[in-house]
Amino acid sequence: MPADAQKNLVSDASVADYPLWLKRFIGTYQSLAVGPLDPLATLYHPQVQFQDPLHQVQGLESLLSYFAGLYSKLTQCKFQIDSVFYQGNSAALYWTMTYAHPQLNQGKPIRVEGHSLIRGEQDKVVYHRDYLDAGQMLYEHLPVVGALIRWVKGRASQ
């Protein structure tokens, strides 16, 4: 699918039909960048449960602290929501994240595709689980470990 068509999946008239918590999630993440993470505080429920391949946290304060640590050394971070499927209080979002960290990939941007399962309650996101390849996001870009992981992946695909 052309990039323009993907972008339109979350910017066309159907977004008007999304529940408020989902509209806020899409808008917040598509405009999120390196800097203050204040918009996240109003997006998530105080009892939010979050999980990604590296961590699991419960509660808004723990989530904000976790994200602050992740974003603290990034020089770039951008999300593009590629497609959204929702029913009732649950949604699956497919996204592309492009980020840069001075100690990974020689500071050059890294592109990671993933998806999230989210659930809304009281116009807030109460559950957020990210599914992504942690190797693609992090491990493959570490100096020694990255070479080993790339070698193992190459051997496994033969």
Q: pLDDT band for position 73 (50/70/90)?
A: confident
Are 41 and 64 within 8 A, CB to CB? yes
Average pLDDT, the chain: 83
Q: pLDDT band for position 71 (50/70/90)?
A: confident
Q: pLDDT band for position 8 (50/70/90)?
A: very low
Residue ranges of domains in the chain, CATH in brackets: 3-132 (3.10.450.50)
Number of neighbouring beta carbons within 10 Å of residue 61:
12
Q: pLDDT band for position 111 (50/70/90)?
A: very high
Element (H, E) at 149: helix 143-156
Element (H, E) at 27: helix 20-31
